[in-house]
Amino acid sequence: MKIPESNGLPVNLLAACFNDTVATYKFYWLLSILQSVEQGENKIPKRELFSRMLSNAWFTVNYFHVSFGKQDQIQKAIHRIKSIEPITIDERREVITQKLITSSKQESVKALWHFNKNVPHWFLSPWFPKVKGETDLAREKRIYSLSKSFSEKCLYALHEEIIEVNPEWKSYLTSNAKVLKDFCYWNLSLFLQAKNPNVPDIPNKLIKPAERNSLTKQRTQFWDLVIAELGSVKCIYTGQKLTVGNYAVEHFIPYNFVSHDLIWNLIPADKSFNSLKSDKLPSLEKYFNPFFALQKTAIEIVKEKNPKNKLLEDYLTIFPDLEKNFSKEKFRERIQPLITIASNNGFEFMK
């Protein structure tokens, strides 16, 4: 993916900011600048940008448990601030930003200003290549000094408390904000997928969705059909009797990890237990056998009652040959690695 061209602006240097990326800060720094510029800001407080960096990554780290890498400072700062500030894992991005901008807690302020050590000036590295024999400290001072006059048509000027967007870049950033943000997210998704090779659907875990999809279709067109045929089923977790209209549709492996609503991962469950389970992982030793038995019965009933039911196609994502290979052993082989990876990424098991 390429960024838009512009006569007179070194857009190749902006694109080069993402060369040799070893951490996520470059992506979130530019995203934060773009968001501030879209709001009409030209002289942007650094603390605002640092706050936006963390608020943009907050949902990805806390809700989806995507790993940024052991040394990533954004992930570390989010975990630190989460233990300090009363911010929920699914809070709105702008609310998080404002809470971090206005927080008076010294630990939070320190975590934010940690990014001032490297982020603002190293992002401008493509405009100011290293001089032979130059130390990192000398280069930092040179970048700060030269940027103040927008030397080399750099993106912004660096000051102690703020950055000032180069007027020559302002129109370009504003008119191309959507494409540039897509460019950031595209590169960020590639970076994070490399860090999380077995985690599904990384691109859809970068932004908090406006709202979760309704499971009405899965309820009315699939599980209601099964339960109506059987009269009732037992919740695999609590043993409670479930009837049509008196159950929740539950993700066996948490939605926060799989990021989909495919029917092979959905089962009816006790409403009260569903809310308690939240994003916890089920023990396969305890729950897989009843889970599989319920799924197998459901497939048999739906295939008989409504063989053209589109939801049956969901099973093809893990069983391309559903007619021949749907077995307990094969199903467990598909699910076990997902449970293991989710656990390794920080998802907890049910107690």
Flag whether 2 is in a domain: no
220 plus 196 within the same structural domain: no
231 and 82 share a domain?
no
Contacts of 89 (CB under 8 A, 6+ apart): 58, 59, 62, 63, 82
Question: pTM for this one?
Answer: 0.81
| DSSP assignment string, 232-288 | -EE-TTT--EEBTTB-EEEESS-HHHH----GGGEEEE-HHHHHHHTTPBPPHHHHH
Q: How far is CA 6 from the centre of its chain?
A: 31
CA distances from 45 to 41, 49, 85, 187 (A): 10, 7, 21, 26
Answer yes or no: do 136 and 92 share one domain: yes
For residue 350, being part of any structural domain is answered with no
Q: What is the pLDDT of residue 51?
A: 98
Q: Are residues 146 and 165 in the same domain?
A: yes
Final residue in a domain of this structure, among 184, 205, 226: 205
User: Tokens in use for 208?
Assistant: 């908090």
CB atoms closer than 10 angstroms to residue 262: 16
Q: What is the pLDDT of residue 317?
A: 83
Give residue 21's pLDDT: 85
C-alpha to C-alpha distance for 183 and 76, rounded to whole angstroms: 24
CA distance 73 to 76: 5
Strands (DSSP E) contained in the chain are: 43-45, 156-158, 162-165, 233-234, 241-242, 248-251, 266-269
Query: Consecutive sets of 10 residues in the chain, 351 residues long: mean pLDDT of each?
Result: 89 91 93 96 97 97 92 95 94 95 96 96 95 94 97 97 97 95 94 92 88 89 96 96 95 92 95 87 95 95 93 87 79 91 90 82
Q: Are residues 190 and 239 in the same domain?
A: no
Q: Are residues 230 and 160 in the same domain?
A: no
Coil, strand or helix at 163: strand
Distance, in Å, from the CA atom of 297 to the CA atom of 236, rounded to the nearest integer, reads 14
In a domain, 303, yes or no: yes
- Is 273 found in the same domain as 124? no
Record the tokens describing residue 88, joined without a space. Answer: 């929920």
List, in order, residues 6 or more apart from 117 with CB less than 8 Å away: none
Residue 304 inside a domain? The answer is yes
On whether residue 197 sits in a domain, the answer given is yes
Both 109 and 19 in one domain: the answer is: yes
Q: How many domains does the chain fold into?
A: 2
User: Cα(219)–Cα(245) distance, rounded to whole angstroms?
Assistant: 9
Residue 44 domain-assigned (yes or no): yes
H or E segment and range at residue 344: helix 328-344
Instruction: Tell me, yes or no, whether 123 and 76 share the same domain.
Output: yes
330 is in which domain, residue-wise?
216-344
